[in-house]
A and B are shown apart, each in its own frame.
Chain A
Amino acid sequence: MITIPRLVAIAAAASVLAACSGKAPDPVPVTAPTNAAFTYINNLDVMTSWDPATSYSNEGIATNNLYEQLTRSDPKTNKVEPLLATKWAASADGLTWTFTLRDNVKFTTGNPMDAAAAKAAIDRTIELAGGGAYIWDPVKTITAKDASTLVFNLKYAAPLDLISSSAYAAFIYDTKAATGDLAKWFESGHAAGTGAYVVDTWKKGTENELTLKANKDYWGGWTGVHYQTVTFKVVPQETTAVQMLQSGQGSFMPSVSSALYASLKGQKNVTTEESPSFQNMLAMLNTASGPLADVNVRKAVAEAIDYDGIITTLQGSMIKATGVIPPGLLGYTEEVQPTTNAADATKLLTAAGYGTGGKKLSLVLTYAAGDPVQETVVTIMKANLAAVGVDLQGKALAWETQWDLGKSPDAAKHQDIFLFYWYPDYADPYSWFINLFHSATPPYFNLSYWNDPAVDATIDGLQALTATDRPKASQQYVDLQKTISDQAVTAVVGVTNNRRALASTVQGYVDNPSYGNVVFVYQLTPTG
């Protein structure tokens, strides 16, 4: 999942292949430091959770360098590539999947990564049922047939090779890493994966929050030139972050706002990358309590927002959204267009008893402090709503605090509007619907607090339907988006257009929208 704008992903497809088959990449003919350090500059705290089973927030940028999945997907080529599994096959009915695991891979704890260990990890993730664990819903049983053969029996057909490449909840980790309470052991800053890096230091709340160092026993080997350490630096001020990048103190910024991005183009020690993403910004409207519980008031708010104006003002940081699903995914539709109609909004508000002669409508919106894009969107929304007589109060909070208040069991603490980002766990729209629009008590990411049993039932069947009848599933997604739009459950502000900035010493970066803001550092080549 994704909540915040700055995460990333990349991998030169070629180098993925080379790495996955255990071949050393060709030596790079440049002088490269033997102890090169990669510095990822993030505007928010990195680690909110360490447990690879339940982690479901910004820490994905780090965990995807500590852990590996069975497979890795590349939505640009529409292919699934080998990672811990070297090959896989599905039965004709799609209900049995057999994965062959890579030999001689060890967890950083020293224990072997074999079929039994992989089964134990996925079983634990399913059992804990937190974070993105829903991805395994189609799985009935997992069997370790022999040390390198893992067999999944499914309840219904599902694209398991794609599911097993998820950015969250699909990690293969050592369940025997700790003798006591494993979850506690993880949360104290430990990892037990097979990735190219291991945890060096973790100091929560400090500038250099997390440093990783090379996992000397990594199955991919360390021949060739690779980064030996990875530092995740928390720099809330974007200007400072950009200046650090220019001065060589940083290697990568996942998201740069328009004005700065323009200024970075053509600079010699910085390169910029622009690519479409699967991430969109949503304003979740509180359907359960407060003034927005009235559907007409929600509609008025949604119609008051000047979507085109926001896109224009952001100068390329976002593109216009149609419906909840971004372009490039199943169920994307242009039938659900956001409408801006201040006159109609005013009419709806008057009918609901607000505005001239009625009550004054005041709404609270929460958003993440430190994101200039959200900041700008809030400024515009305030003006748009003021134009129809609604007073919008924007509260900038640390992401964790914003989310904690939003998912509080006490509805009195809930905001009227929750502004945030979402991206899918794998290249499929299901993530939005199961997380954002399916009911859940206490709330987790369903921050509109929407509860419609008919919609829940449709969502529950969609994963299976996707595997058996894609056109029908696509139609259901379109219908759901129409319902969401009719009920004004959320206002989709726009789809993020990724604008990354890298130090020009970093070679080999390729954006992979399936993994949000993750950088697979092992695949990069340091130069200079």
Chain B
Amino acid sequence: MSRYIASRILQALGVVLGVIVMTFVIARLIPGDPAIAYAGPRASVEELAAVREQFGLDLPMWQQFVSYVTGVLHGDLGISLHTKQPVTSDLIQVLPTTLVLVGIALVFAAIVGIPLGIAAARWHGTFGDVAAKIIAILMVSMPVFWLAILLQIVFFSRLGWLPVAGQYDSAYDSISPLYTVIGVPVIDSLLTGNWPVFVNAAAHMILPVCAIAAYPIGAVAMVTRGSLLENLGEEHVRMVRALGFPERAVFGRFALRPSLNPIVSLIALVFAYALTNSFIVESVFNWPGLGSYAVRAFVSLDIPAILGITLIVALLYVLLNLIVDLAQAVIDPRVRA
């Protein structure tokens, strides 16, 4: 067991190193002079040289690589060309917002998707099963940017039920001022017991959460259904059924439990997908998180920021995969083999 864990961690570290190399390679592929982008409009030739020296852009490639790796290991991802702040501090500022949004979307997806999958498997072959399947496929086939815009039009423009964009109405700043805890209004207001802002912020989350959750709901439902059906087909389950156990027990105890494993491993995949989809959803809903930061970095040709985002998302993904693998190894000893 500990050998498995050690080798798995080692493997993850190798991947992390590879990820760092790859971001560096991408950075060097990018045309254009980062010094000019940073030094700005009126920079003289001398100022440009100074900036090159400051950021080590005049050094040989291998030295730049060494200093890049050293920097990354120290949490230094360079200075954003757009915000002129360290990319690391920018990311620390925007990441909680996005993680809260994606986290809530995933929880929501599990709450809706798992029962949907179970129901489809339970009433396998019926019209309901086919309907559930079609719904799930629609969800995973939905272009997220289009869905986000449609949600805005329907629930804001046409029905007027939900707010269109942003995190909460700034009007509350004067009525019920919000104290910052982690920088995400919906959590901050909850932690400080600021109910008016909480209700308002929660309403602002509904549409973006739905847009992000669409794909995970479909994926979770399909995996749950498929995995349950597979287990129901297993010999031992059939035997239990033949022995006259009630259908509910067969279903719950012998089929459902082993089916949870694939769902756990699905989390990492769906997380990655939801995180990149949040890029688009955030920009449509003007949600000030990683996605909006990324979209702005693209139009600003802000290479340090783009690389920082790529790196941080890849690292999150590696980490989550590691946790999922280790968790599964603990739950199911067969995985270690």
Contacts and interface: CB of A to CB of B under 8 A. Distances in A.
A–B interface present (Cβ within 8 A)? yes
Interface of A: 35, 37, 39, 130, 204-208, 229, 231, 235-237, 239-240, 243-244, 247-249, 369-370, 396-398, 400-401, 403-405, 407-410, 413, 442, 444
B276 interface: no
B45 A409 contact: yes
B288 A206 contact: yes
Contact of A240 (B45, B152, B170): B152
B166 A204 contact: no
Interface stretch (B5-13, B105-113, B279-287): B279-287
> Chain B interface secondary structure, helix, strand, loop or mixed?
loop
Contact of A243 (B80, B156, B171, B288): B156
B120 interface: no
B85 A240 contact: no
B36 A409 contact: yes
Interface in B30-65: 32-33, 36-37, 40-45, 48
B308 interface: no
B164 A401 contact: no
B36 A408 contact: yes
A205 B83 contact: yes
Nearest to A406: B41
Given A240-B284, A413-B33, A207 B166 contact: yes
Contacts of A409: 36, 43-45, 48
A397 B285 CA distance: 21
B98 interface: no
B45 A247 contact: no
B83 A235 contact: no
Given A237-B284, A249-B170, A444-B42, 11 more contacts: A204-B84, A205-B296, A231-B170, A235-B286, A240-B152, A240-B164, A240-B285, A247-B156, A249-B164, A249-B165, A400-B300
Contact of B165 (A205, A243, A404): A243
A259 to B, nearest CB: 14
A51 to B, nearest CB: 12
A373 to B, nearest CB: 17
B117 interface: no
> Chain A interface secondary structure, helix, strand, loop or mixed?
loop
B299 A413 contact: no
A370 B299 CA distance: 10
Interface residues of B, number: 44
Given A244-B166, A398-B82, A237 B156 contact: no
Nearest to B288: A207
B292 interface: yes
Nearest to B169: A249
Contacts of B167: 207
B152 A205 contact: no
A397 B299 contact: yes
Nearest to A205: B83
B2 interface: no
A397 to B, nearest CB: 6
A204 B166 CA distance: 16
A249 B166 contact: yes
What 8 pairs across the A-B complex have the smallest Cβ distances?
Answer: A243-B164, A398-B300, A205-B83, A369-B299, A398-B299, A35-B174, A207-B288, A240-B165
B85 A204 contact: yes
- B42, B152, B165, B173 pick with most chain A CB within 10 angstroms: B165
A235 B42 contact: no
Contact of B37 (A130, A204, A208, A401): A401
Contacts of B292: 207
